C-alpha cells in the first residue's frame, strides 16, 4: 500500500493528539509513504503554532522538529510544478478547499492507483478525495 500523508496526518506522529494512533498504524502498515515537498514548511508552521499556543511545551519544539526531519527523510516526495498547482486550483474551486489542501489532493492524484490511500484528518479534504474516487484513511474527525 502507498499512503499519501497530508500535514494533518503527519503532525499527529509528532505531537500526541486524537489522530496519533491511527496515523501511526497507517504509517507502519504502508509499503511507501509519500507527500508533496511543501509538507515540510506546512508542518514546521504547525509545530511552531502548537508551541505558541501551548499545545506542547515550547522546550519540546526542537525535539518535534528533529522528529519531523526524520519523517520527512522517509517520504517519497512529489515536486510542485505548474501542472500540479493548476490542478490544485481546479480542485480548490470545485471542492471549496484551502490552498494547501488542494495541493495535497492534486499531488495524491498523481500517485493514485489501486493500493494508494490518502491519509488525512481534515474533513473537507477527505470528503473531496472521496468525491473523486480516492481511498481515504481518516486520522480523526476534527478540522474543517
Q: Map grid coordinates 508542518 to a residue.
A: 43
Alpha helices (runs of H) in 1-144, residue ranges in sequence order? 7-10, 20-29, 39-52, 61-74, 82-95, 99-111, 123-131
What pLDDT was estimated at residue 141?
62
pLDDT tens per residue across span 6-49: 999 999 999 988 889 999 999 999 999 999 999 999 999 999 99
Half-sphere exposure of 35 (CA within 13 A, CB side): 23
Please check whether residue 143 is in contact with residue 97, taking contact to mean a CB–CB distance below 8 angstroms: no
What pLDDT was estimated at residue 19?
87
Q: What are the residues facing 16 on neighbouring strands?
A: none
Q: Which domains does the chain possess?
A: 2-138 (3.40.50.1010)
- DSSP label of 138: E
DSSP string across 76-109: EEEPP-HHHHHHHHHHHHHHT--HHHHHHHHHHH
pTM for this predicted structure: 0.93
What pLDDT was estimated at residue 142?
52
Amino acid at each position: 500500500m502507498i499512503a499519501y500523508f497530508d500535514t494533518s496526518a503527519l503532525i499527529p506522529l509528532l505531537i500526541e493528539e486524537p489522530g496519533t494512533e491511527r496515523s501511526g498504524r497507517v504509517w507502519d502498515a504502508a509499503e511507501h509513504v509519500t507527500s508533496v515537498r511543501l509538507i515540510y514548511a506546512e508542518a514546521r508552521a504547525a509545530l511552531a503554532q502548537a508551541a505558541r499556543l501551548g499545545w506542547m511545551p515550547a522546550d519540546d519544539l526542537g525535539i518535534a522538529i528533529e522528529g519531523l526531519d526524520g519523517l520527512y527523510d522517509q517520504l517519497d516526495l512529489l515536486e510542485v510544478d505548474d501542472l500540479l498547482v493548476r490542478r490544485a486550483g481546479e480542485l480548490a474551486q470545485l471542492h471549496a478547499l484551502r490552498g494547501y489542501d488542494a495541493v495535497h489532493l492534486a499531488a495524491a492524484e498523481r500517485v493514485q492507483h489501486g493500493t494508494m490511500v490518502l491519509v488525512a484528518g481534515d474533513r473537507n479534504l477527505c470528503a473531496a478525495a472521496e468525491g473523486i474516487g480516492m481511498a481515504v484513511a481518516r486520522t480523526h474527525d476534527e478540522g474543517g
